[in-house]
Amino acid sequence: MSAPRDRLIVALDVPNVDEAKALIDRLGDSVGVYKIGLELLFSGGFALAQDLARQGHSVFVDAKLLDIEATVERATAVIAASGAAFLTVHALDRKTIAAAVRGRGDSRLKLLGVTVLTNLSRADLAEHGIDEAPLAVVQRRAMMARDGGFDGVIASGQEARALRERLRQILIVTPGIRPAGADTQDQARVMTPSAAIKAGADYLVVGRPITRAADPRAAAEAIVAEIAASLPK
């Protein structure tokens, strides 16, 4: 598959485009993919995504789409036309999945399903009318996403291992990564880069351990080195 560096996705969780650009300047070519989430998307981040894609960067639009089919299809088509490499869509039902796949058309956009947000417990799922353990729901939705034509799913490190045992061919993108000894901040269940790769993750999403480091580039390079050392030879 891709080089170790291409497996590192940096979350540009900053409030505006100027801060994002300053961070990108510092990171240079030390990371493979830049992730733009809701905060930055609504403060000029989509234009930044288009610029970065034009400059040849790999961009992850973390829009977590969910709406009626026509809207999901058309929004996906606009994002695909931006040159983005990855887009998140809630993988809740076959209609939504099919709409995103139609919207992608023959572009190179990779569709990633959000199965169960990791902040949701079994009690929260009960509020959705679901009486199942989160992992069972994650597995069912991941299979539905794969069968519907998605490329991968977002999954915590713990879920990655269980998913990888059942779904060999799907891309697994894992957030909640903390190098050994790093501050966990608000992440409840974290994994080191090495443990996540060994659990079956293809890509790691890393935010604050890089973006808030005194030397973001050095922090990114250390994670890439850890990824490289953990990949099967």
> For binding to ligand C5P (CB under 6 A), which residues are involved?
11, 13, 37, 117-118, 154, 156, 175-176, 185, 187, 205-209
Which residue, 9 or 72, is less far from ligand C5P as judged by CB? Answer: 9
Residue ranges with strand state E in 95-141: 110-114
Which residue, 113 or 209, is less far from ligand C5P as judged by CB? Answer: 209
- The residue at minimum Cβ distance from ligand C5P is 207
Count the Cβ atoms, other than its own, within 10 Å of residue 128: 11
In total, the chain counts a number of residues equal to 233
User: Shortest Cβ distance from residue 33 to ligand C5P (Å)?
Assistant: 12
The answer to whether residue 64 is catalytic is yes
Q: How far is CA 89 from CA 54, 62, 155, 211, 222, in A?
A: 23, 8, 13, 25, 30
Which residue, 147 or 183, is less far from ligand C5P as judged by CB? Answer: 183
Catalytic choice (21, 35, 64, 233): 64
User: Shortest Cβ distance from residue 193 to ligand C5P (Å)?
Assistant: 11
Structure tokens at 215: 């030397």
Structure tokens at 87: 């887009």
Helix 17-27 vs helix 46-54: crossing angle, to nearest 10: 30
Which residue, 73 or 110, is less far from ligand C5P as judged by CB? Answer: 110
User: Shortest Cβ distance from residue 197 to ligand C5P (Å)?
Assistant: 16
Contacts of 96 (CB under 8 A, 6+ apart): 65, 66, 69, 72, 89, 90
Which residue, 102 or 164, is less far from ligand C5P as judged by CB? Answer: 164
User: Shortest Cβ distance from residue 105 to ligand C5P (Å)?
Assistant: 26
The Cα 53–Cα 220 span in angstroms is 20
φ/ψ (deg, to 5) at 46: -70, -40
Structure tokens at 28: 């240079």
Q: Establish how many alpha carbons lie within 13 A of residue 223's alpha carbon, considering only the half-sphere containing its beta carbon.
A: 35
User: Shortest Cβ distance from residue 73 to ligand C5P (Å)?
Assistant: 24
Catalytic residues: 64
